[in-house]
Amino acid sequence: MNIQALQQIIDGGENIVFFGGAGVSTESGIPDFRSVDGLYNQKYRYTPETILSHRFFVTHSDAFYDFYRDKMLCLDAKPNKAHLKLAEMERAGKLKAVITQNIDGLHQKAGSKRVYELHGSVHHNICQKCAKSYDAAFILCGEGIPRCSCGGTIKPDVVLYEEPLNDAVVEGAVEAIAAADVLIVGGTSLAVYPAAGLLNYFSGDKLVLINKKRTPYDRRASLVINDSIGEALGRITV
């Protein structure tokens, strides 16, 4: 692992942006529902892609919430070394934004302030009728379909399949990437929309890819580290 090269790039960066995928969260013990294995299929009659779709939420709300409470609400998870180092880098004025595809809120839990959550957050839950908001504990502790005091159905503010991303969040992420001189991409194979597209807005000269497996963008990067994102960032001195 070329930590020295990573340290040099971070030392030289003035406007660093981090873009993270599922790998950042799996190191905190949160399952990546995209890497489906037999376990899901043994317990659930539908694939995660089906359950986490807008149509399924509308037509099978109770089955959606069974899966969601069981697999998506990992409220005991703790920030790992990657989350903590990124928050430290932001406090030091080096890191300008975190852009994440994860919905667990662990960057904020670690202390990060400017976080663009492309797929929303389990910590925001909205009544579909009156727009009142509820926290994740309210969803976790209830049974069946969570209902607002007005009687409306509460929906997690996470982007389900078939749903568009939030325009304001995407715009913020694009602006942050376009202004960055160093872009660190971690814990993603860059195969999933919109990750690859967002990278095209980067015009800085130092692209760093940290992922356990190779990605299609490795040849464009200044530095590739095929290792754990927590281990790599954890060894950086801010």
Footprint on this chain of Zn ion (rule: CB under 5 A): 127, 129-130, 132, 148, 150, 152
| Cα separation, 136 vs 65, whole angstroms | 12
Helix (H) or strand (E) holding 108: helix 106-110
Residue 74: both structure tokens together: 């990992």
CB of residue 162 to Zn ion, shortest distance in Å: 23
Mapping DSSP to helix (H, G, I), strand (E, B) and coil, where does residue 235 land?
Answer: coil
107 in active site? no
Per the rule left: phi > 0, alpha: psi between -120 and 50, beta: everything else, 19 is: beta
Least distance from Zn ion to the Cβ atom of residue 9, Å: 48
**Rounded distance between C-alpha atoms, residue 209 and residue 184, angstroms:** 6
- Cβ distance to Zn ion smaller for residue 129 or 220: 129
Give least dist CB 138 to Zn ion, A.
12
From 60, 119, 123, 124, active-site residue: 119
For the CB of residue 13, give the shortest distance to Zn ion in the complex, in Å.
45
Provide long-range contacts, Cβ within 8 A and 24+ apart, for 89-92: 89/10, 89/16, 89/236, 89/238, 90/114, 92/238
**Which residues share a beta bridge with 184?**
18, 208
Residue number, 130 or 145, with CB nearest to Zn ion: 130
**How many angstroms separate the CA atoms of 145 and 152, rounded?**
10
Provide the token pair at 134: 């509820």
Q: How far apart are CA 3 and CA 235, in angstroms?
A: 7
CB of 221 to Zn ion, least distance (A): 47
> With respect to Zn ion, which residue has the nearer C-beta, 106 or 148?
148
Tell me if 20 sits within 8 A of 187, measured CB to CB.
Answer: yes
Q: Which is nearer to Zn ion, 39 or 137 (CB)?
A: 137
> Which of 55/129 has CB closer to Zn ion?
129
Closest by CA position to 203, among listed 181, 172, 236, 235: 181
| Active site (catalytic) residues | 119
